[in-house]
Structure 1
């Protein structure tokens, strides 16, 4: 299942503030984080509280830029097209023939988490990614191992 690109838009107010506080590498990491988890919020809020009036001005300017950009007007906004990487959670789940609820219970996570993995809005953690990879390669072995673990518990 191919993922659709996500647009992460940097407006001038954000760029000005980010250039003061972050390295280029950190800014790239923020763009990736926003692409994978759009509801992550303002991660720099703590660092910016000392300059409230300037922050308010930057927010107003960014809102104007966002409105102009959405209206099709030319702005100095930078649009990043990010294609989230495939998580393979859906493929692994289907290989086991399970519903999202059943798959979530099997691997010990919430069904909402599985949904977000499959939609591409979140990525599985390292341990979950490893388990998903193993499920894709050896679904029967994983099913046997987890069934034995559940018998003991």
Structure 2
């Protein structure tokens, strides 16, 4: 990694940490002030960051990914996180079963909400970015063969 990519990674870590603090505050208190602070952070930091990535970073990366990367790599990263959330949720569920304490219940709720949000975004990316390409560039039989393989069914020839 370069100094620049390290700086971007550090900035992402700072954004994630600030977001986590604000989300924890909102989920802990449910207060209007904490919710307003979260919205203010989103408006002042996270949304402008995303807009700058869309405007300045992604156009530079598109041809690089096309030439040297794997365009679906981010989807595989989503799958890693989905599996991690599942594992964490299973562990928190066991703690909840064993102890039944409010902290375990809160952790189960937090993980379930995070997992639901991640899966919602992941499915939207597949449906908006990949499935239109899948439908436009593969024949009906090719599409059916992929679907059968995904479901573990035999595919002829």
Higher relative helix content: 2
| TM-score, length-scaled by structure 1 | 0.27
Q: Which has the higher contact order (CA 8 A, sep 6+)?
A: 1
Higher strand share: 1
